Chain A
Amino acid sequence: MTKNQNTAAELPVVTISHIPGREISENLGIVFGSSVRSRSFLFDIFAFFKNLFGGEVRSYTRLLEQAQTEALERLVKQAGVMDADAVVDVHFSTSQVAYKAAEIFAYGTAVRLK
């Protein structure tokens, strides 16, 4: 199970339905990764002021970044368990599971390459 330790860099993850220059031999099914995170109330207060005056809410951007990274990591890990070579057609979606907490999830198709 060496592929378990795959990172995003080693295992190609793309949003198109093929890996350029390679041919897909086998479709292994759907894999997904998700992450639910929240910022503490302090950042909520900063965000409130940013809402008044406008501008990027950096702390929340960072929250999304962290959540997205983790979601992708988990997706790759799942693909590694399935012994996949790549994940194609990856899509992102979000949901608001709890007040002021965001879930980012990524899903795609795990494939084996020729």
Chain B
Amino acid sequence: MQELFVPGIMLMILIGIAFVTGRLAEAAHERALRRDEQLLPNQHLSTEDHAPEDIVLRYSRMVTGKVVIGEDRFRNLLARLRIFVGGRLGAHEATITRAKREAMLRMRTDAKGASHITGIRMTTAQLGRGMVEMMVSGTALYTDKRPSGGFPSALPDDGINISHKNLLVEFTSASAAFLFICWGIYAASGFAVEWATRQISIEDEIAIWSDLEGDYIIERRSDDERSLPERYILDLINSIPKSALGPAAAYDFEVVIIPDETPNAAALPGGLILVHTGMLELVDTENELLSILGHEIGHYNGRDHLEGLGRQAVGVALSAMMFQADAVLTTWIAGWPKMLADLDYSRSQELDADKWGLDIVMAKYGHATDVATTFAKLAMMQEDESMLDYLGTHPHPMDRVRRLNKMVADRNLPLGEPIPLQTAFERYVDALEGQSTIYDEYEAPEGSE
């Protein structure tokens, strides 16, 4: 949520500046056009291919006028939104009319002294997006008449070619329509992604993921390459009875400890579980640690890690379709519908994962002590943080604590004696020392105990 606000405000300011400068430039151009059109003597302009018969022609010459006008960022954005929903691009019509008048004006300046310009043709070039190009050509006739036709010989400025709509109103309605359509597609794609993730087997997932992120996913490290705490956590996961793991039993798990103070853990595709050192500092007993790990394993059972990826891909594809050139806009706009659609969805995913966590702790220890302790700690930590976090994708930790405690009470699960993490870890190291020599090379990462 917060990461959307700051760039959002910056974008709004930039677009606001573009709006103001664009309006100023337009007004200045409009004034200059009106003044110059008045200054030039009236010439007879026509698109006819022949010269009028009532003149004595001295000589003739080809004349041209060209102009390229750049659109401001605001109108560009408006046009892009409009292209998405379809319809008339009112903002561009004003620019195009100005371009025509300007090109015509330059041609007439080129034909100074001529009384007639016949065979006028207009054409455009395509130099780039967000630019309006106009080329006018004609044949200037220098005759015995003075260039004062007395007709409105400039292009008429009656505004018939411009849909008079307030730019801001148009912008608001266009963005509302755009966001609504995006949200609709995004929500609908959620079901498609959910279906698709259930079709992908775990073997395929590992194969695809190691292709995509070959550097990130570790090629099955051997025990020597893992740090001792990582080995400990991995062995803890592997010691869970396979029957309690559910579908996730097919994964060959890997654990990586990330030196990060925020208490967090994450399930990545391919069975890679990330644990922050902040989380290890937060938990006091092995039971607590397993409740967190069980929660992450629960995410694998829900295939939540794939769904997140799929939905992100849909969001990015959607906005990239419309805003190819604008990386900042793409990521920002993609963020909104994704967040809206994910809000409800993720809550149910998290609660499902909590349920798996409880089952795993029960299977391993035979009692449900400490299943909710870590979530209670997280809830205490979050209380003094900003309200914005509560709107995030994770359910309120206190709700989770209540829900977990209720589950324990409803099922009449027994409580028992938790194993302090320190004791469990030391016991693990002692056991290793007894059977191998790896212990000599061991250096504990900071904050891992």
Chain B CB within 8 A of A2 CB: no
Interface flags, B125-140, vs A, CB<8A=1, else 0: 0100110111000000
Q: A74 CA to B164 CA in the complex, in Å?
A: 14
Number of chain A interface residues as a range? 35 or more
Stretch at the interface among B27-35, B93-101, B353-361: B93-101
**Chain A residues, Cβ within 8 Å of B123:** 93
Task: Name the prevailing secondary structure of the B interface residues.
Answer: mixed
Task: Name the prevailing secondary structure of the A interface residues.
Answer: strand
A-B CB pair tally, cutoff 8 Å: 138
Chain B CB within 8 A of A69 CB: no
CB distance from B40 to the nearest CB of A (A): 13
Q: A74 CA to B303 CA in the complex, in Å?
A: 58
Chain B CB within 8 A of A58 CB: no
Q: Which of B92, B104, B156, B321 is in CB contact (< 8 Å) with A41?
A: B321
> Contact at A32–B155, with CB atoms within 8 Å?
yes
Interface flags, B42-58, vs A, CB<8A=1, else 0: 00111111101000000
CB distance from A81 to the nearest CB of B (A): 5
Chain A CB within 8 A of B85 CB: yes
Chain B CB within 8 A of A50 CB: no
> Contact at B87–A95, with CB atoms within 8 Å?
no
Q: A79 CA to B26 CA in the complex, in Å?
A: 26
Q: Max chain A CB contacts within 10 Å: which of B87, B97, B149, B321?
A: B87
Q: A43 CA to B134 CA in the complex, in Å?
A: 28
> Contact at A38–B48, with CB atoms within 8 Å?
no
**Chain B residues, Cβ within 8 Å of A103:** 92, 96, 124
Given A81-B156, A98-B92, A29 and B83 contact (CB-CB distance below 8 Å):
no
Supply 8 A–B pairs (Cβ within 8 Å), ascending by A: A29-B45, A30-B45, A38-B86, A40-B87, A43-B86, A101-B92, A105-B96, A107-B122
Q: Which residues of B contact A (CB under 8 A)?
A: 44-50, 52, 76, 79-80, 82-90, 92-93, 95-97, 100, 104, 120-124, 126, 129-130, 132-134, 149, 151-153, 155-156, 158, 160-161, 181, 321-322
